[in-house]
Amino acid sequence: MSDTNTGMVEKYRNNFLKEVEANVEEGEWVKMCMQCGVCSGSCPLGPHWDHPPQELFMMIRAGKRDEVLESTSMWMCTSCYNCIVRCPRELPITHIMHGLAHYATRLGIEPKNQPTRKFAQLFWNNLAKNGRVNELWLGVNLYFMDGFVNGIKVALGMAGIGLGMLKAKRLSLKELVGGHTVKDKKGFQAMIKKAQELEAARVDN
């Protein structure tokens, strides 16, 4: 358990709802859920979630801290926004799902092997480097996400498509070295750094 996590447990004791309200993006909306279940019914991936949004909200109110934050459920969200559109109480459910996932990551108790989580991290790392997504590297990293042997298997399986894309000039091997960047890479990185400082300052309060 990370230090932040222990600190939070100490700070909010049994009142997980208050913790969520204070720390999770749009968390102050959780109390407004009226348990109609429309979000759960609207979610295209709903049947694959351990706990659909409505249930997550109830678990938060019931103080089930670990079960919520360690859950893979909110990582299943594909941001289709069906739930937001349909929620009669107008809860920004998609944002709350991302907020919960982000908060769990901050605390370091997120489910490490959840594929969406892994992909999100790869995407961020890739993007934050040059300010542009290097699709070739993103693809390669993704193939080898679950280890070298598996990566080879996946890569071979995708070889046909890869060659096709090369032929059609949709993919360039030059990207393997360096790759294209934003014009002002330094400025971009300074900007990210500043944003991270601001975020850290906000979170610590």
Note the residues at the interface with another protein (CB under 8 A). 17, 31-32, 34-35, 54-55, 58-59, 61-62, 64, 89
- In whole angstroms, how close is the CB of 171 to another protein at the nearest point? 48
Specify the residue, 29 or 143, whose C-beta has the smaller distance to another protein.
Answer: 29
Specify the residue, 34 or 200, whose C-beta has the smaller distance to another protein.
Answer: 34
Specify the residue, 57 or 143, whose C-beta has the smaller distance to another protein.
Answer: 57
Q: How far apart are CA 160 and CA 110, in angstroms?
A: 35
- In whole angstroms, how close is the CB of 54 to another protein at the nearest point? 7
Amino acid at 196: Q
- In whole angstroms, how close is the CB of 42 to another protein at the nearest point? 17
Copy the structure tokens of residue 87.
Answer: 């929620």
Specify the residue, 20 or 142, whose C-beta has the smaller distance to another protein.
Answer: 20
56, exposed or middle or buried, with CB in 10 Å at 0-12, 13-18, 19+?
buried
Residue 54: closest CA among 86, 15, 22: 86
- Please check whether residue 155 is in contact with residue 143, taking contact to mean a CB–CB distance below 8 angstroms: yes
Specify the residue, 54 or 72, whose C-beta has the smaller distance to another protein.
Answer: 54
- In whole angstroms, how close is the CB of 199 to another protein at the nearest point? 27
- In whole angstroms, how close is the CB of 187 to another protein at the nearest point? 43
C-alpha triplet 53, 59, 30: angle, nearest 5°: 60
- Please check whether residue 74 is in contact with residue 80, taking contact to mean a CB–CB distance below 8 angstroms: no
Each residue of 13-44: b (16+ CB within 10 Å) or e? eeebbebbbebbbbbebbeebeeeebbbebbe
Q: How far apart are CA 176 and CA 47, in angstroms?
A: 39
- In whole angstroms, how close is the CB of 17 to another protein at the nearest point? 7
Specify the residue, 62 or 80, whose C-beta has the smaller distance to another protein.
Answer: 62
